[in-house]
Amino acid sequence: MDISIDIDIETLIYGIALAGVAVNAAAGVLEAGRKPFDLFGMVVVALAAALGGGSLRDVLLDRTVFWIADQSYLIAAIVAGLATFALVRVVRLPARLFLIPDAIGLALFTVSGTQAALAMEAPWLVAVLMGVITGVFGGIVRDVLCNEVPLVFSSELYATASFLGALLLVGLVAWGVSAGWAALAAGTLVLLVRLLALRLRWRLPVFIARP
């Protein structure tokens, strides 16, 4: 049996990135739902949450912004945002329901962000940071727009999981592992660390505020 994950790697990454965008848009609507925003405000927060990280990555790397190059991402974010808005008015979704898709989104964004930077031959530390930015920046913008302290700054190993995954990806690629397997390993690591941290309430040490 010849497992050649590389053949469809681009299709896979594409589908995964679309799914990540949709999940982040849905999470944006849930977060915005705590504020008295109207439908449009909600869609804007959903778009910022879903596209913010990748946009910042592309602007910093001076690439064509991904959702301008390909409208599908924009459509995925809008549809997911509207669908969540409609759904939440009918069914009451527990906030925890979204933690798993959100963790998947984090894994996908981290991998795609790191890969994009590596493809442009960015230095390794920059590539890692781009992975983290792509993974967490959307959530930061979402919280800033909702006038909240960004959740990712105190959440259970959120950015840390992204950081570890990006680091693993850069390491594996430098080591000669094929892009597909490296992405799979890195994404799995992000997912595992985040889900374990959620279950076991792992947190990084929190800075003690000065009195």
Q: How far apart are CA 63 and CA 170, in angstroms?
A: 20
| Cβ proximity to its own copies, 159 vs 173, nearer residue | 159
Residues binding its own copies: what is the number (CB under 8 A)? 60
Instruction: Choose one: 1-9, 141-149, 166-174, 186-194; the region binding its own copies (CB under 8 A).
Output: 141-149
Task: Give the DSSP per-residue string, 113-160.
Answer: HHHHHHHTT--HHHHHHHHHHHHHHHHHHHHHHTTS--GGGTSTTHHH
Out of 16, 140, 173, 182, point to the residue binding its own copies (CB under 8 A).
140
Radius of gyration (Cα) for the chain, nearest Å? 17
Site string for its own copies, 89-118 (x = CB under 8 A): x--x--------------------------
| Cβ proximity to its own copies, 152 vs 168, nearer residue | 152
Task: Give the DSSP per-residue string, 39-99.
Answer: HHHHHHHHHHHHHHHHHHHHHHHTPPPHHHH-HHHHHHHHHHHHHHHHHHHHS---GGGGH
Interface with its own copies (CB under 8 A) = 29, 32-42, 44-45, 47, 55, 59-62, 64-65, 67-68, 71, 74-75, 85, 88-89, 92, 122-123, 125-126, 129, 136, 140, 144-150, 152-154, 158-160, 163, 203-210
